[in-house]
Homo-oligomer: A and B are copies of this chain.
Amino acid sequence: MTKAVLLLECPDRKGLVAAIMTFLVSEFDANILHAGQHQDAELGRFFMRVEFEYLAREHESLQQEFGARFERIAEEYAMRWQIAPSGRKLRVCLFVSQHLHCLADLLQRYQAGEFECEIPLIVGNHADGQKLAEFYGVPFVLLPVKGNKAEVEAEQMRLLAEHRIDLVVLARYMQIISAEFVEQWKTKIINVHHSFLPAFIGSKPYHAAFRRGVKLIGATSHYVTADLDEGPIIEQDVTRVTQGDTIPDLIRKGRDLERVVLSRAVRWHLEHRILHYENKTVIFD
């Protein structure tokens, strides 16, 4: 038996769930392991995630095989959909600068088996993460950014293509990605911003939070779009601060949040638990 995850989105219509479920059972003799759905009543849209088990004919070509048979129903209901076999792990590239706490956390989780993925590459604009990459057996490429951003991005995209990367994770990568890069990697770049968005967009959010005198600080993981810190939010968390906390304290407390919200976002993406629409996400947790 093979496991697969079907993610789909379409206009909401009567009989939709029955049609999908009946299709999976009758066409694939599928055993449904988990199914989650969401309706946006205002937009009249329907979202679904189905994790199922079935007897695959030829493992490699689920995409084609499934697609050929799913086409009829997908067209009928005007679905945007994707199917992912559990057998195939996504390939992830981490981007990092000098702050290593997210990188170390992701790599430890990777080693512990928390993520269903391959990490064939880490790209740094500083050398700080190199030793950590080596320790976890991941090749590290140093690409310093100094007035040569277009060139560096071209090289980054070449590397992503060469390594057949599915997802880029900005593990506190302190560079703004160009609109062109983002366009090509739409909803395939996850960033962590060190504030509770939409509060404190931009740089030095902990400093801004300190000045405003908030009683909780937060962190946010989101897909990167061309608008800085405006992409679809995947996960957020907060922690309490007091007047006794200095800016370095906020930074330290914030690191605990950043680790957690980024790693959750990565795991959900890898397990095909995220649908995005209208600058929002639906999480099938």
Given contacts A15-B25, A101-B112, A108-B104, contact A215 B244 (CB under 8 A): no
**Contact in complex: B236, A215 (CB < 8 Å):** yes
Given contacts A243-B280, A280-B243, contact A236 B216 (CB under 8 A): yes
Q: How far is the CA of A108 from the CA of B213 in the complex (A)?
A: 29
Number of copies: 4
The count of residues in chain A whose C-beta lies closer than 8 Å to any C-beta of chain B is: 66
With both beta carbons as reference points, the residue of chain B lying nearest to A238 in the complex is identified as B238
Within 8 A of B (CB), among A82-110: 100-101, 104-105, 108
Chain B residue contacts of A216, Cβ below 8 A: 196, 218, 236-238
Q: List 20 A-B contacts (CB under 8 A).
A: A14-B29, A14-B30, A15-B25, A18-B25, A18-B26, A22-B22, A41-B246, A100-B108, A101-B112, A196-B238, A197-B199, A197-B212, A197-B214, A199-B199, A213-B279, A213-B281, A215-B234, A215-B235, A242-B283, A244-B285
Say which one of A31-39, A67-75, A167-175, A181-189 lies at the interface with B: A31-39
Please report A residues at the B interface, Cβ cutoff 8 Å. 14-18, 21-22, 24-26, 29-41, 47, 100-101, 104-105, 108, 112, 114, 131, 135, 196-200, 212-216, 218, 232-238, 240, 242-244, 246, 252, 256, 260, 278-283, 285
**Contact in complex: A260, B252 (CB < 8 Å):** no
Q: How far is the CA of A32 from the CA of B145 in the complex (A)?
A: 45
Chain B residue contacts of A34, Cβ below 8 A: 37, 39, 244
Secondary structure at the A interface, as helix, strand, loop or mixed, is mixed
With both beta carbons as reference points, the residue of chain B lying nearest to A281 in the complex is identified as B213
Q: How far is the CA of A21 from the CA of B25 in the complex (A)?
A: 12
**Contact in complex: B282, A114 (CB < 8 Å):** no
Q: How far is the CA of A281 from the CA of B260 in the complex (A)?
A: 27
Q: How far is the CA of A281 from the CA of B241 in the complex (A)?
A: 12
**Contact in complex: A22, B18 (CB < 8 Å):** yes
Q: How far is the CA of A159 from the CA of B215 in the complex (A)?
A: 33
Chain B residue contacts of A282, Cβ below 8 A: 243
Cross-chain contact of A212 among B198, B234, B244, B256 (Cβ < 8 A) = B198
Cross-chain contact of A114 among B38, B246, B252 (Cβ < 8 A) = B252
Given contacts A22-B18, A38-B244, contact A233 B213 (CB under 8 A): yes
With both beta carbons as reference points, the residue of chain B lying nearest to A237 in the complex is identified as B216
**Contact in complex: A39, B31 (CB < 8 Å):** no
Chain B residue contacts of A235, Cβ below 8 A: 215
With both beta carbons as reference points, the residue of chain B lying nearest to A260 in the complex is identified as B256
Q: How far is the CA of A105 from the CA of B256 in the complex (A)?
A: 10
**Contact in complex: A16, B39 (CB < 8 Å):** no
Given contacts A215-B233, A237-B216, contact A17 B32 (CB under 8 A): yes
Cross-chain contact of A280 among B14, B112, B135, B213 (Cβ < 8 A) = B213
